[in-house]
Amino acid sequence: MDFTIRASFLPHHDPEASLAFYRDVLGFQVRGDVGRGRMRWITVGPAGQAGTSLVLCPAGDEPGLLLAAPDLDAVFERLQARAEVIQEPIEQRYGIRDCAFLDPAGHLIRVQELR
């Protein structure tokens, strides 16, 4: 299977402190900042690596890994017998087609279709 790592989700308790650390200490670029107050999803990533990101999500949101693949149906077909299916391939209202599985340790893995 041909996968690209798109993002990893890391829960935060304080979005401003998390943003300051990843932006100011590590030097990551801010690629997105959605929500307000403590309910913010902040996407950051290293300069020069536009395809790789961290999503700083509210504590309590499910951390996980976001992968991308050119043929989502083929990925789903192969993995459905080998992993616990959380979501079959669907078109999300925000324009992404994806599916979701759990790995053996219970971590969420979402797979987006590359378009």
10-49, pLDDT tens digit by residue? 889 899 999 998 999 889 999 999 998 889 999 999 888 8
Integer Cα distance of 37 and 16 in angstroms: 9
Q: Are 56 and 32 in contact (CB under 8 A)?
A: no
Quick: pLDDT tens for 40-70.
Answer: 999 999 888 888 899 999 988 878 899 999 9
Q: What percent of the chain has pLDDT over 70?
A: 99
Closest CA to 101 of 74, 70, 67: 67
Integer Cα distance of 85 and 64 in angstroms: 14
Which domain does 62 fall in, by range? Answer: 4-113
Both tokens of 50, joined, read 């536009």
Answer whether 0.85 is exceeded by the pTM. Answer: no
Q: Count how many domains the chain has.
A: 1
Amino acid in the structure at residue 36:
R
Closest CA to 26 of 7, 62, 53: 53
- Average confidence score pLDDT of the chain: 90
pLDDT at residue 2 tops 80 = no
pLDDT at residue number 17: 92
Amino acid in the structure at residue 55:
V
